[in-house]
Structure formats: C-alpha cells, structure tokens
Amino acid sequence: MDIQDILSVMPHRYPFLLIDRVLEMDGTRIRAYKNVTFNEPFFQGHFPGHPVFPGVLLVEAMAQAGGYMLFSGIQDRGDKLIYFSGIDACRFRRPVIPGDQVVFEVEVLSARRGFAKLRGRAHVGDALACEAELLSAMVNRS
C-alpha cells in the first residue's frame, strides 16, 4: 500500500504521519517502513551536529503502523480515533539517523472491545533499533 492508501485510512497528516509505505499486512501482522531524511524538521534540534531520530517518534511510527492495520478493518473509521493507552517493555537498541530506512513489524497480541495490545519492532537493515508493547483504545471522535 502506498502513501495514498495510507492517507485514505489514517487520520494523521504532515508533519506527523510517520509511515511511508505498507509492505505487507494480514489480520494480525503488518510490515511498513519510513525513509528517514535529513530534511525532517526535528533534526534541527535533535541533535545539532549529530542528528538522531527521536526514540519517541520511533514508538509513534510503530503505533501508526499498528493503527493502520486496526483501522483497515473498521467500516466507520472516520468516526473513530485510536489513542495510546500504554507503552510497555520499550527498549532502544541503536540510533536511527538520516539515510536509514526503518522497517516496522507489528503484531496483534490481543484485541477486544476497542482495546488492543500490539508488539512492535523497528529494524534498520538486520539491526533491531527499537521494540515495545503498545496498548491502544479505539474511541469515538465526538
């Protein structure tokens, strides 16, 4: 799925849409990626002279990949939002820098009545950059 498909499902927009393409997806797993460029606005301050992709945005990008997967199966998704309700067992294993392509692999651990627990991993090449368990709650927009 390309960026147009992602935009048709996700409520996020520039500058906060953090996935560029979905590589594969089934009902419980998704693989998506983000190309990290030096033009990202946060690199001006994180960190000058030593640009590092903010870890919190790696976690957000994993959540967005999972959100795409969860939203794809919802008919009335325009009336819904998915909120973070928790982050567990989060670890950062290596820095992500401009020029990297980060591949996010997210799987559903459990889901019921609007709540989901996902496991996400972010890889750059063969190296694990970040991993976390993500908890979410689907709510009405109103």
Alpha carbon of 138 to those of 18, 39, 85: distances in Å? Answer: 19, 32, 10
Amino acid making up residue 124: V
Alpha carbon of 111 to those of 9, 66, 85, 135, 142: distances in Å? Answer: 19, 12, 13, 10, 22
- Annotated active-site residue 46? The verdict is yes
Q: How big, in percent rounded to 5, are the helix, strand and coil portions of the chain?
A: 25, 45, 35
Amino acid making up residue 101: Q
Which alpha helices (H) appear in the chain, and where do they start and end?
Answer: 3-9, 55-72
Do 132 and 66 contact (CB within 8 A), yes or no? no
Annotated catalytic residue: which of 12, 46, 50, 123? 46
> What residues contact residue 57 under an 8 Å CB cut-off, 6+ apart?
18, 42
Residues that are catalytic: 46
